Amino acid sequence: MKSIPLPPGIRDYTAEIVRKFDYINQIFFQETESWGFNKIYTPIIENIESLTSDSAESDSKNILKLIDPLSGEILGIKSDITPQIARFVNSNYSLSNLPIRLSYAERVVRNKINKNSDSREFFQLGCESIGTEGILNDIEIIQLASSLIKKMGFSNQVITLSSSLIVNFILSKLKKSNEKIRDLFYKKNFSEIFKISNDVSVPKKERNFIKSIVIPFTKNKIPKDSYLPSNISKEIKNLKIISGELVKINPETKCIIDFLDVKDFQYYSNITFEINVPKIKSTLLNGGRYNNLFNKYGSSIPAIGFGLNLLTLVKHIKVDDLARPTALIIIDSNASISESFQIRDFLVNQGFITRFSNKKLPNNFQQIIVKISKSKEINLYDSKMKKLAKFKSFKEFIEEEI
């Protein structure tokens, strides 16, 4: 057959992968519903303005754009969910509805391919808590995220806490070396930061700031309070409290604080977090607080949420663990069609996946094979057509446990 290639970074998803998707989705929405989150759907395409935060230029680079032939407007295929959630809440709720808890299963496409991935299409599960703030709400959303990963079979977790408030404060003080320092934060190349602190081409004020503020943070030490604004000192204390409480709730979970963690998205305002599993190289879940995202709609609404990378997760769930028994019902010219459907309904109620055929299938789909004789006897065979059992009637068959 002729092969038609797909666009770069886009792929098909086999039945085996989709089964894993469905399994994860079921766990996710059962759990999030028990925490009071309501599932929503958002459009795959929107006007470009609703898909970006206030820092639209940096976010916009990730968005695949097209022209709407009906309106002539520039549209975008969503590359992230959080800005779209802000538009959704602004369009469908009023301030009197707050707080609002939303969950979703969405598909996003990004206008780039990351170095560590050949994919630009992502399946994301997530939760957003809109109109809530404070340490208790931060702990609750992180604990929900942790419990979801645990229910999917990964109890050995590392929760990393950080804060965009701290990172943005540091970068705002480094006018000349801002981009370079940001990149070094991202790469965790702290030795180069020390070199910058002694580089005479960098303004003296910035060099002193790096020595007194940045370098202690690179060693996971807190600079002197006299060097820090009160809101930054408070944020550090909150991170410590949240870390301590999460460890009390999950004694088996490791919780660390990374003061210099840089996130890809610019809308984060305060605490950010990620959850990793030691045996999985990629980060499973990212989230954080985005208290300023609603400003573009003229509202001041605190919010926090997270997104779970479904494609990373499915690579580490064994399809054998999700297997259901299969049965093939062979219908030939002597078989009763109505009787065959009665048998099929019974097997489905017993948890079997069933198919009809007029002969044994060449693949290994069938674990048991059911044949009905002209006299309405029901014969059971294994996949190699070795007879397992015989029943004189449908009544006798349904009384037998399979």
What tens digit of pLDDT does each residue of 12-48 get?
998 888 988 998 999 999 999 999 999 999 999 998 8
Q: What is the mean pLDDT of residues 314-330?
A: 77
pTM summary value:
0.82
Q: Which residues contact 69 (CB under 8 A, 6 or more apart)?
A: none
Tell me what pLDDT residue 58 has: 52
Tell me what pLDDT residue 402 has: 54
Give the Cα separation of 41 and 243 in Å (integer): 33
SS3 label, residue 302? coil
Top pLDDT among 16 and 106 is at 106
SS3 label, residue 39? strand
59 pLDDT band, cuts 50/70/90, is: low
Instruction: Give the DSSP letter of residue 214.
Output: I
Homologous superfamily (CATH) of 1-157+277-323 is Bira Bifunctional Protein; Domain 2 (3.30.930.10)
Give the Cα separation of 139 and 243 in Å (integer): 9
Backbone angles phi, psi at 349, to 5 degrees: -65, -20
Q: CA torsion angle for 372, 373, 378, 382 (degrees, to 10)?
A: -70
The β-bridge relationship of strands 254-257 and 387-391 is unpaired
Burial of 161 (0-12, 13-18, 19+ CB in 10 A): buried
Lateral strand order in the sheet of 121-130: 38-39, 100-109, 121-130, 303-309, 285-289, 271-276, 158-163, 254-257
